[in-house]
Amino acid sequence: MATSTFVQIRRDLHQIPEPGFQEVKTQQYLLRYLEGLPQDRVQIQTWRTGILVRIPGTDPKRTIAWRTDMDGLPIAEETSYPFRSLHEGFMHACGHDMHMSIALGLVTHFVHHPIADNLLFLFQPAEEGPGGALPMMQSEEFALWKPDCIFALHIAPEYPVGQIATKPGILFANTSELFVDLVGKGGHAAFPHQANDMVVAGSHLLTQLQSIVSRNIDPLDSAVITVGKIESGTKQNIIAERARLEGTIRTFSMESMARVKSRIEALVKGIEAGFACTATIDYGCGYCQVYNEEALTEEFMQWVSEECPDVTLIHCKEAMTGEDFGYFLSEIPGFLFWLGVNTPYGLHHSKIEPSEDAIEVAIHLVSRYFTKLSERP
Ligand SMILES: CC(=O)N[C@@H](CCC[C@H](N)C(=O)O)C(=O)O
């Protein structure tokens, strides 16, 4: 079967994953495609490595926005694809290549099928960090075309193609990155009494961090502390002078986020005292929760159940994922939904191969939904 335009676009984008705010080739690729569309139908602004595309409506009452993220992850790809990443050590392992091709599919649809309302498409950099949504929202470019409602999707490996999932209210957690640097005294492996070993100090801290969720957080609330990376030492017979722990914190309430951070600070102080080292904590970037506006989400869910026989809707639970799309939703009504892509490997896995059939499902569903929204008085 011939590869559709948007599947081919997804494959092209898959080959050029770039980290946040360095999506230079990605931006060029997207611009090249957008410049090939009838230019009397689209208005384009760039913002850093992102793009804003406006399609003026025929009789606008509002501006409806769709947002896609753009960045890749520092993961060495292990898929079976013939179109694997050309950027060694980087991969689109969170579906942003799928998200971008769906967004271009929607732009293309509406360029050829105008609706009454204005449409705004946001190609937003740096979702994986340090976060492009908030600065994009604060930009002059965004202020010029500020939307009245905003929507997005995220691929979901666990659902089959043709299924989507969402819920009103909180969908994704509040997040904060976590970086802890410990500095002690290095030395010879045979003379530990003359050194302060940061491999041991870092290991103690890692173990102690595990007690925060189980001992300090209300069991009826939820929190996650994941340390995804530890760096320490240079050789097996050298005592390490430094250790660095890198992680992320997830909570549903801001009270729990504050509690987790204060417990981390107390434990790190204890490590400083106990291991005669100095420590610094950096919380990197943090995102606010993704909160789906209730009325719009309920109405969408009802519409999908009643009028989209080709799509199965799941009323899902909230997840500990983070998304800076939450910032848009903190000011503009809208929602995010999961799009089933049927792959045994999860998000951020080096072997994830989302089903490309989901691209067409999403374009078809969202174009119908926006057309329906636009018919509202
Ligand atoms: C959808 C998704 O996977 N998002 C990321 C967002 C990460 C934000 C930040 N770098 C952090 O780690 O806190 C996620 O990991 O949930």
Ligand 1 geometric centre to CA of 309 (Å): 33
Q: Is 69 designated active site?
A: yes
Which band of pLDDT confidence, cut at 50, 70 and 90, is reported for residue 251?
very high
* pLDDT tens-digit map of 19-56: 999 999 999 999 999 999 999 999 999 999 999 999 99
Mean pLDDT of the chain: 97
User: Rounded mean pLDDT of 303-311?
Assistant: 97
To the question of whether residue 349 is assigned a binding role by annotation, the answer is no
92 CA → ligand 1 middle, Å: 14
Cis before residue 56, ω within 30 degrees of 0?
A: no
Residue 1 has pLDDT above 80, yes or no: no
- Give residue 323's pLDDT band: very low, low, confident or very high (50, 70, 90): very high
Contact 98, 341 (CB under 8 A): yes
Contact 324 CB / ligand 1 (< 6 Å): no
128 annotated to bind ligand? yes
- Would the annotation count 193 as a binding residue? no
User: With a 6 A CB cut-off, is 289 part of the ligand 1 pocket?
Assistant: no
128 CB-near residues (< 8 Å, 6+ apart): 19, 20, 69, 71, 72, 73, 94
Q: DSSP character for 40? A: T
pLDDT of 2 over the 70 cut: no
Count of residues for the chain? 377
pLDDT at residue 3 is higher than 90? no
Ligand 1 near 175 CB (within 6 A): yes
CA distance 79 to 26: 21
Check residue 345 and give its pLDDT: 97
Ligand 1 centroid to 197 CA: how many Å? 31
Atom from ligand 1 closest to the CA of residue 287:
8
In the prediction, which pLDDT does 130 show?
Answer: 95
Bridge partner residues of 170 (DSSP): 291
Q: Which of 117, 128, 181, 293 is catalytic?
A: 128
Whether residue 335 has pLDDT greater than 60:
yes
Confidence of residue 377 (pLDDT cuts 50, 70, 90): confident
pTM of the model: 0.94
Mutating to test ligand 1, I would choose from 128, 178, 318 the residue with most ligand atoms within 8 A of its C-beta, which is: 128
Residue 218 CB burial class (10 angstroms; 0-12, 13-18, ≥19): exposed
CA of 68 to the centre of ligand 1 (A): 15
Task: With cut-offs at 50, 70 and 90, classify the pLDDT of residue 103.
Answer: very high
Write the CA distances from 271 to 168, 181, 201, 276, integer angstroms.
42, 11, 7, 8
Q: What is the pLDDT of residues 205-220, one digit of tens each?
A: 999 999 999 999 999 9
Q: How far is the CA of 363 from the centre of ligand 1 (A)?
A: 25
**pLDDT tens digits along 158-204:** 999 999 999 999 999 999 999 999 999 999 999 999 999 999 999 99
Q: Which of 323, 327, 336, 337 to mutate to test the pocket of ligand 1 (most atoms within 8 A of CB)?
A: 323
Q: Which domains does the chain have, with CATH numbers?
A: 5-168+289-374 (3.40.630.10), 174-286 (3.30.70.360)
Residue 348 is assigned to a ligand binding site: yes
- In the chain, the amino acid numbered 133 is A
pLDDT given for residue 148 in this prediction: 98
- Region 250-254: mean pLDDT is 96
